[in-house]
Amino acid sequence: MSGFLTLPLLWAQAGAPAPPRVPAAAAPVVNIAPQWIPALKWLYLSGDPTFTTNDLFGGFLTWLKAVSLLCLVAWIVSWMVIGIKERVVGQGRWYDYIGVLALILTPVSVLLRVLESVHRIPVYTIQGNRVTGIVALLCVVCYVVWIEVAIGRTIKRLGRPLDLLVLFAIHLALAFGLGAGVVLQRIGFLSLIMPTGPNFQLGWRQGLIYGVRMSATFMGYIVFARIAIRCLAELVGVRGRRLYSIAVLSWHEANRKMWAPWVVLVVFLLVLAFTHWFLQPPRAAEMGRLYVGTLSLLCSVLITVMITILTPLSLPNDIQQQTIYTVVSKPTRRLELIWGRMLGYMALVTVLVFVFGGVSLLYLWRTVMTAIRTTEAQAVKAKQENRLTEYKLLSEQADQLRTRMQARYPVKGSLSFLDSRGTPHAMGIDVGQDQSMREPRSHIEGATSSAAIWSFGVVPDPFSPPGRPPIAIDRRIPVSSFLQPGTIDGALDKVYALQMQIDADKQAKTQPNLPASRMSQLDAGITRNQAELDRLRGEYDALRKKADDLLAQSAKAQQEGKLAEARDLKLAATKLSSPDITVEMSFNVYRTTKGKVGEPVFAEIQAINPRTGREYLGDVFAVKEYYTNRVKLPAWLLAGSNGALRIEIRCMTPTQYLGMAESDLYLLLPPGNFGFNYMKGLFGIWLQAMVLTAIGVCAGTFLSWPVALLTTIFFFVAGELAFAFLVDFSRQAIMGGGPFESLIRLLTHDNQMSDMTPTAGVVLAKTLDSLVMPLMSMIVYLVPNFQALDVTNMVADGFAVSWGLMGVNTLLALAYALPFSLAGYLILKNREVAA
Amino acid sequence: MGKSMGLPGSPVPTADSFILIVEGVRVMSHEVIIETRNLTKVYRDFWGRPKVQALKALDLQVHRGEIFGLLGPNGSGKTTSIKLLLGLLFPTDGEALIFNEPTTNVAKNERIGYLPEESYLYKFLNAEETLHFYGRLFKISKAERTKRVGRLIDMVGLSGAKHRQLREYSKGMQRRIGLAQALINNPELILLDEPTSGLDPIGTSEIKTLIRELREQGKTIVLSGHLLADMQDICDRIAILHRGELKELGKVTDLLTVQDVTQIKARNLSPGAIDEIRELIRRHGGEDIAVDHPTTTLEELFLRIVQESELHPGRRKVAQDAGRADALVAGGRSKP
């Protein structure tokens, strides 16, 4: 869901007002009947822009709120523009003067606030209220009056009855939202759901602000509904034959007019032909990753560049060359024009993805797989020639190469830490490294009680807010995938499961006032399960005995020198157990100066089944940096675990630190097919192309082709390379201030941390930043998160792309592509194609 | 262009779309197909300031089965009117109805065919692909579409070039395929914006013949143009626009008849008989009597020469004197 949660929130930069700190003694009395709480939660959940749930529904709701708010903004702006163009607004009427006043007051209020914050002016108050606050409020009131009157008059003069209805409904939503905010504050509900808990009281002002936030969402819903109805009405008229026809046209246009697929295909083959010249892996084991990553990148670059150029050119050319006349004068709907083009281009991308994928796989098969086979042959030769160091090195290289050329399914747990005194923490020691990575890394100190613990099962989230019940997260191990039926461990797991069921039933029987029917039901269950348990125990004992016998025979054969027979018997005994569980780890070492250079750092692994209490203590192993450490756990450890397991890692080398993130340790399920996984990785590129196509086509509906091209490029670059920065930007979490302040710091060589002397230039820069940054930060709400769609790194690392991830990414891509395509439709619908 | 005209799809006149032919005189239905009320279009600049008033309060009605001409010099608002009717432009004021529906209604386009001023077609498609592309936009079965495509290509005389991309076509060929696309849906209403633009006289003549045939099938045709002779030949009614204003509207015959002039035509009159007629006219108070031999139109002369050339290939002897020229065109339509 992380992808969804990165969806933009319009109000993010405003942020919820922080609750004032008041003593616990002044805590409000919350008088809400319990039956009302769920309804009130729903009201708040649907209204507040930033409040959501951490599931699929929460993702959808966040998307809906963001789109609705954007719809509201677009609706207001479009009516204002119509009002100005049709001479309803901006004609020197009384409300225009209010608008001018608002425009003047905006920089003035920001300037005053900046001067106040840098202590250039004292904080003036009028009856306890800050003057800057009053000026800002006056400014807001002026804007509201201006927009209200301007839109009202414009709609009255130029709008249709439905527009009047929307205007009326928007006012109802405004009143409802404001009322809801105030009521929620009065009854203490807002205090109840604050992250800080109910011990902090919110005043009526906070209630009003929450009311404004909620009313903005509700007003957005109204506009969204209006647009959705319009789009649905259009959707009813959409016909497959017309979509197909326009898709075929786009296909031919790309092929015959622009020659786009042929150009990218030739470039792809050319680059591929010389890849081995410039691709030199830093370590032999990195070859697979490097080749897979490079080929994926090449596919991604070529396809996205092609789409970036192709899509914004198409519609503007159609309009400019007036070929669109003959199409829109037919019963073609505007939505069909947009979607038809998208379909055509996506058909092209689909073909290219398959061609690129097929050629890439052939190439990888010829290069990397050949390298693996050669390395393995060299290793065997080295062993035969008793060059053991070289054999070990070559074996490891081949193993690492094979690891990358797989589709590994990791089962990940939840990471928490124990410090050197054995106290649990969500994070370990921060050594000041790697905190900017996707997953922050923590360290454990060597030769102390500190440990990194990976918990599997339904476990509490270590980052649950304190003072509240912990949030449970589901990290259960799919036991049936590890413990095969018909094996000793599989039978043992069933025995444990039945025994636990019987124990639970027996426990249930001890409950007082149990109805007789329930009692007899439990008795029957216990009897039935007991019989089954006895049978399974017998089965388990028989398997166990058979294995012991085989091992004994194997030992005997070994003693008698019948090595082949001994090996076969041992193999037969091994087959009676489930295969060992592979645990992979990739830790980094933070070396202090107290250590000896060149000496390995050692670690220890301990696995505990929390339900059965059975433990496994692995051998101490030397941590391989930059490589994957692999440890085998016995399968019996999982028997009776019901998906729960606890793995503890300790650093054994004194004065050294072992660093890890949650994804650094996982259990491995049987691997999938690499080729198929590679194609799944390319599906991420396909999704990127889909979003980009929607943007390109949308931009082409109202911009000339050069501007549309630049717009599409901007969106791709911003979403692919700078999305994380934009998110920080929108949260105003960038160190060193906004663009103007940063420019001053750059020129004066001032560092990012220190406060600047509030000179006139600095005040001006801060004022401009305060005006510009909220506007610029809105870009993040429009820029798609292209990075989230790209899963080629997973493929290059040898991890399987799960269907779940593909599903989420598909939804994420649609969450962007659909609004862009519908925006394109609305623009095209409302523009004169022959103007 | 083609053989004379096996137009695809034959119209079935409905109760309210009858075409009455009485002794060669066509009577149009009174059903209104197009109606504009106070239709006004002002082009504005980026800031919304009026730039050009392209159409000023146009009020007109077009009835089923007639050929209606929009006549006017360049920039008079003919094309703007057609674009407004098709919803390619939005009116600044007033409204336009086609089949009694607003122009923004997309469904009405199922019954409309449109040939734009230039052949705005996709040059990377060939003729067949072009017609299939446009045909798929209508509710036509694949079999029917394939049949129509073939017949239309034959009709516009592009059978030999149907697999060539349109970028290789001459302007005339592009106009022909443009016309074919306008007819792919067997429309009830056909809007032709300067249909003869870019065509040679033969093409022009064939287009005019086609338009007349379409009328015979009961279709309503609106065409714009500034070639007066063409419009005069084929239009039942015309509207003359100038600088966006409707200056004249009515039947061509009514508008062109000069009420105070009488014309007498006769063959093989002797000079004596002519003198007698002159005398008779003079006796009845006639003035400015002009008696001479009629001439044909240049178009007719050209068509006849081409026709002869096709029948008798080879170098043609050029007539040296007017009498020979007259002989060549004998039988042509005479003019006073």
**At residue B3, does pLDDT exceed 50?**
no
What's the pLDDT at B24?
39
In terms of average pLDDT, the best of A415-424, B26-35, B313-322 is A415-424
> Inter-axis angle of helices A287-320 and A334-364, to 10 degrees?
160
ipTM over cut 0.85: no
At residue B12's C-alpha, the angle toward residues B9 and B17, to 5°, is 130
Q: Which of A242, A205, A60, A79 is nearest to B136 (CA)?
A: A242
- pLDDT bracket for residue B319 (50, 70, 90): very low
Residue in the block written with tokens 């160091």 = A389
- pLDDT bracket for residue A744 (50, 70, 90): confident
- Rounded mean pLDDT, A802-812: 92
CA separation (Å) from A345 to A57, A247, A537, A714, B51?
A: 31, 7, 62, 20, 38
What's the pLDDT at A513?
81
Contacts of B185 in chain A (CB under 8 A): 330
What's the pLDDT at A198?
52
Whole-angstrom distance, CA of residue A439 vs CA of residue A664: 10
A126 SS3 class: strand
For chain B, the C-alpha Rg in angstroms (whole number) is: 23
Percentage of chain B modeled with pLDDT above 70: 79
Shortest CA gap B141–chain A (Å): 10
User: Is A256 close to B124, i.e. CB distance below 8 A?
Assistant: yes
Whole-angstrom distance, CA of residue A488 vs CA of residue A551: 14
pTM of the model: 0.82
**CB-closest option in A86, A242, A253 to B137:** A242
**CB-closest option in A252, A330, A833 to B109:** A330
- pLDDT bracket for residue B22 (50, 70, 90): very low
**Using one digit for the tens of pLDDT, what is the confidence trace for B123-168?**
999 999 999 999 999 999 999 999 999 999 998 888 888 999 999 9
User: Is B136 close to A832, i.e. CB distance below 8 A?
Assistant: no
User: Is A330 close to B138, i.e. CB distance below 8 A?
Assistant: yes
**At residue B28, does pLDDT exceed 70?**
no
Strand order in the sheet with B189-193: B112-115, B189-193, B220-225, B67-71, B237-242, B245-251
What's the pLDDT at A755?
81
- Rounded mean pLDDT, B246-258: 79
**At residue A145, does pLDDT exceed 90?**
yes
State both tokens at A311.
Answer: 């899509």
**Using one digit for the tens of pLDDT, what is the confidence trace for A257-295?**
888 899 999 999 999 988 888 888 877 778 888 999 999
State both tokens at A232.
Answer: 């649905």
Mean pLDDT score across all residues of chain A: 87
**Using one digit for the tens of pLDDT, what is the confidence trace for A187-236?**
888 877 775 555 556 777 788 888 998 999 999 999 999 999 999 999 99
**Using one digit for the tens of pLDDT, what is the confidence trace for A302-348?**
999 999 999 999 899 999 889 999 999 999 999 999 999 999 999 99
Q: Which of A285, A304, A289 is nearest to A356 (CA)?
A: A304
User: Is A323 close to B122, i.e. CB distance below 8 A?
Assistant: yes
User: Is A252 close to B137, i.e. CB distance below 8 A?
Assistant: no
Cβ proximity of A124 and A131 under 8 Å:
yes
- Rounded mean pLDDT, A245-259: 93
Q: Which of A151, A15, A181 is nearest to A76 (CA)?
A: A151
What's the pLDDT at B297?
66
- Say if A160 is an interface residue toward chain B (CB within 8 Å): no
Cβ proximity of B29 and B64 under 8 Å:
yes
- Higher pLDDT pick, A417 / B288: A417
State both tokens at A806.
Answer: 């593909």
What's the pLDDT at A478?
93
- Higher pLDDT pick, B306 / A398: A398
How many C-beta neighbours within 10 Å does residue A696 have? 31
**At residue A355, does pLDDT exceed 80?**
yes
**Using one digit for the tens of pLDDT, what is the confidence trace for A593-627?**
777 777 889 999 999 999 989 999 998 999 988 77
Percentage of chain A modeled with pLDDT above 70: 94
**At residue A58, does pLDDT exceed 90?**
no
In terms of average pLDDT, the best of A462-476, B98-112, B271-285 is B98-112
Whole-angstrom distance, CA of residue B13 vs CA of residue A832: 35
Q: What one-character-per-residue DSSP string does A588-643 give? A: EEE--TTSPTTPPPEEEEEEE-TTT--EEEPPPEE--TTS-EEEEE-GGGGTT-TT
- pLDDT bracket for residue B18 (50, 70, 90): very low
- Say if B143 is an interface residue toward chain A (CB within 8 Å): no
What's the pLDDT at A302?
95
**At residue A409, does pLDDT exceed 60?**
yes
**Using one digit for the tens of pLDDT, what is the confidence trace for A534-568?**
999 999 999 999 999 999 999 999 888 888 999 99
What's the pLDDT at A749?
85
**CB-closest option in B48, B109, B120 to A321:** B120
**Using one digit for the tens of pLDDT, what is the confidence trace for A638-658?**
999 999 999 999 999 988 999
**Using one digit for the tens of pLDDT, what is the confidence trace for B192-236?**
998 888 788 888 888 888 888 888 888 999 999 877 777 888 888
Q: Which of B141, B131, B142 is nearest to B176 (CA)?
A: B131
Give strand pairing partners of A424: A418
What's the pLDDT at A229?
93
Among B46, B103, B106, B149, the residue to mutate for chain A (most A Cβ within 10 A): B106
Residue in the block written with tokens 């649950």 = A464
